[in-house]
């Protein structure tokens, strides 16, 4: 299994022997295994200094407190600096009117970026070299695939998870959850260093994972088992397929970048699609527009398909900008067209410009 992980790290250039790495550890089987594995990789000289982060979401009372104690003990046993923070996710969700899982994920990564910055500072290492290691597995990737299949997704969405997204890397993405649990049990059976929780278990089990009232839990406990009945090798098969999708997605993204460089003017607070943009292939147009909207709205905001379509509709069927076309889209952005091209800008800028022109 460690050979597979090393191959994943090498093939996707996830980190190097000098990379400082922050491990996100919840105390579940996957992240507990990640802590041991990362320590082994460090001892092999494949990764730099390590630290551990645990985020207590305050959702499960004493069980959450026990998770925190377990991860603290694990970090101490592995001689890892330990970062811990408590976030009342339920309170934040009530105040913001958001989804608890989405807010929890956002808060975890905010904490991770802050902890990584602190870690790099104290190790006198450049932040750009730092990595945040998560314990996502083949199982997580397959669950994402089915969730997106049911709810729909944009270009590239069916690659499900990237091995790397900025400083966040997923070295266990070619390993199953079952294999990680077997690894933990083998460590214990062979007398290697392990930490047990207060009940004597090798990892903490989140009882809420067994519920099917949440979408991911429903996919995990209903959809995936049914698919495995038809193909017992589902994880390997589907992950290979997603890697093929990922290769093609990377190629399409490169074409979109080239399309933007050659056919789009970026100014102070606006993007202008040149008339030549209308002659590009539709899939490239869509990806390029999505990238532009992400730059204007922010990568955290989900770009609506209707917003992309509104920009495309500024060109006629021959790919020529439609003079006089004006529409307001997501993010309070104005789309306007004339024979010189299609302008994407904040509505306040559009109105101020129109006022000056008149």
Q: For residues 131 and 22, is the Cβ–Cβ distance under 8 A?
A: yes
What's the confidence (pLDDT) of residue 303?
87
What's the confidence (pLDDT) of residue 95?
85
- Are residues 210 and 314 both part of a single domain? no
Any domain includes 176: yes
- Are residues 217 and 336 both part of a single domain? no
**Listed residue (91, 127, 133, 92) closest to 109, CA to CA:** 133
Any domain includes 60: yes
Packing angle of the helix pair 234-263, 282-297 (nearest 10 deg): 80
Helices and strands, number each (H, E), in the chain: 13, 11
- Are residues 220 and 124 both part of a single domain? yes
Any domain includes 8: yes
Of the three residues 240, 260, 282, the one that is the final residue of a domain is 240
Any domain includes 120: yes
DSSP secondary-structure letter at 315? B
Q: How confident is the model at residue 43 (pLDDT cuts 50, 70, 90)?
A: very high
What's the confidence (pLDDT) of residue 175?
97
CATH number at 215 reads: 3.40.50.620
Mean pLDDT of the chain: 93
Q: What is the mean pLDDT of residues 273-293?
A: 96
- Are residues 57 and 188 both part of a single domain? yes
Any domain includes 247: no
- Are residues 180 and 286 both part of a single domain? no
pLDDT tens digits, 156-211: 889 999 999 999 999 999 999 999 999 999 999 999 999 999 999 999 986 555 55
Q: What is the mean pLDDT of residues 112-132?
A: 95
Any domain includes 251: no
* Boundaries of domain holding 128: 2-240
Cα–Cα distance between 303 and 181 in angstroms, integer? Answer: 37
Q: What is the mean pLDDT of residues 295-323?
A: 90
How many structural domains is the chain composed of?
2
Q: How confident is the model at residue 214 (pLDDT cuts 50, 70, 90)?
A: confident
pLDDT tens digits, 51-85: 999 999 888 889 999 999 999 999 999 999 999 99
CATH number at 335 reads: 3.30.465
Q: Which residues contact 164 (CB under 8 A, 6 or more apart)?
A: 12, 13, 14, 170
């Amino acid at each position: 299994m460690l050979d597979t992980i090393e191959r994943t790290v090498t093939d996707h250039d996830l980190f190097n022997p000098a990379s400082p790495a922050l491990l996100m550890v919840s105390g579940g089987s996957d992240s507990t295994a990640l802590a041991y594995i990362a320590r082994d990789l460090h001892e092999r000289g494949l990764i730099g200094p390590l630290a551990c982060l645990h985020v207590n979401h305050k959702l499960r009372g004493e069980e959450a407190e026990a998770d925190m104690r377990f991860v603290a003990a694990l970090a101490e046993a592995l001689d890892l600096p330990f970062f811990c923070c408590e976030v009342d996710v339920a309170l934040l969700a009530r105040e913001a009117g958001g989804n608890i899982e989405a807010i929890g994920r956002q808060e975890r990564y905010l904490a991770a970026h802050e902890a990584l910055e602190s870690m790099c500072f104290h190790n006198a290492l450049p932040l750009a070299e730092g990595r945040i290691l998560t314990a996502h597995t083949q199982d997580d990737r397959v669950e994402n695939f089915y969730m997106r299949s049911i709810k729909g997704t944009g270009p590239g969405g069916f690659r499900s998870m990237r091995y790397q997204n900025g400083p966040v890397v997923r070295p266990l993405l070619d390993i199953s959850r079952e294999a990680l649990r077997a690894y933990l049990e083998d460590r214990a059976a062979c007398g290697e260093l392990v930490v047990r929780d207060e009940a004597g278990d090798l990892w903490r089990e989140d009882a809420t994972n067994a519920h099917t009232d949440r979408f991911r839990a429903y996919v995990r406990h209903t959809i995936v088992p049914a698919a495995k009945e038809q193909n017992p090798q589902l994880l390997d098969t589907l992950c290979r397929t997603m890697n093929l999708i990922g290769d093609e997605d990377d190629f399409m993204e490169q074409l979109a970048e080239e399309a933007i460089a050659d056919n789009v003017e970026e100014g102070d607070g606006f993007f202008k699609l040149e008339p030549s943009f209308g002659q590009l292939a539709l899939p490239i147009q869509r990806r390029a527009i999505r990238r532009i909207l992400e730059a204007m709205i922010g990568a955290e905001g989900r770009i609506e398909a209707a917003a992309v379509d509104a920009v495309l509709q500024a060109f006629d069927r021959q790919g020529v900008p439609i003079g006089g076309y004006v529409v307001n889209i997501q993010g309070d952005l104005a789309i306007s067209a004339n024979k010189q091209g299609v302008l994407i800008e904040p509505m306040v800028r559009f109105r101020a410009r129109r006022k000056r022109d008149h």
